Amino acid sequence: MIGRFMSDIDRARCVDEAVDVLHDVIIGLGFPQLVYGWTRTPCRVDGKWAAVPLHTRSFPAKWDRDWERHSPHDPYFRNSYVTGETDWKDVRDRREELSVEEQACIDYAADWGLHQGLTVPVASRGRFAFITAVGDPTNGSRWQDSVEAARPLLKLVAHYFDSVVAQRFHEMPATARPLSERELECLAWSARGKTIEDIATIIDISPETVRIYLKRINQKLDTVNRAHAIARAVALGLIDIN
């Protein structure tokens, strides 16, 4: 699945085509609906939150007729920007802590049948993007089971997708400082699912040295975690995930 996804994304001629490819993968992971959005300024200088343009797939017709009013108060988006990966249920569970506007936003989405979602943020210097798998699972399993099963692949897919789309269609710089042979080696093993301790044993260095290499990789690639670094490195042709 992942190899075909990467190949199809690379061939996409526009953002909409790329989002269609992403939606096919999301469906394959058991989620019928998709949201993709990005912005350069999630929170403005005056402290107000920006309304983020969205690309959606399989959403109800006219769901967005009043979304512009609710978008700056979207608690799911805010939570993903502040704390990271967000299961919508966790946000709803602390509803009493939310503002009136945030509660109204949740209710608006719910009125359109948009109850369940897992938002995966992709942050880098100068932009903030996110991908959300939405809807009751199509594979018959419970929501939490579907989330746990899909989470690792969804994170990798989200980071790779945004790396490619940002470089090709959003005029983001495609250059990155070169990685050393050791850094590439650590990243390649990390892409194969190896832990820091595993990598240390395989290439015969200390775990602390591996951590230093991985931290340096993030600095050079302008990424925020290992999944983001792997996705960016694959997009730049530095490593082959297959």
In single-letter form, the type of residue at position 138 comes to: T
pLDDT tens digits along 46-81: 678 888 889 999 999 999 999 989 999 999 999 999
For residue 7, pLDDT over 60 is answered with yes
Indicate the pLDDT class of residue 94, thresholds 50, 70 and 90: very high
pTM for the model stands at 0.73
% the chain with pLDDT above 70: 94
pLDDT tens digits along 184-205: 999 999 988 899 999 999 999 9
Assign domain 181-235 to its CATH architecture. Orthogonal Bundle (1.10)
Token digits for 24?
């096919």
**Nearest to 130, CA basis, from 180, 78, 167, 95:** 78
Residues of the chain with CATH 1.10.10.10: 181-235
- DSSP character string of 80-120: HHHHSSEEHHHHHHTGGGS-HHHHHHHHHHHHTT---EEEE
pLDDT tens digits along 140-154: 788 989 899 899 899
What residues contact residue 128 under an 8 Å CB cut-off, 6+ apart?
38, 39, 40, 42, 81, 121, 122
Q: Out of 3.60.110.10, 3.40.50.10490, 3.30.450.80, 3.40.50.300, which CATH number does the structure's domain 2-169 have?
A: 3.30.450.80
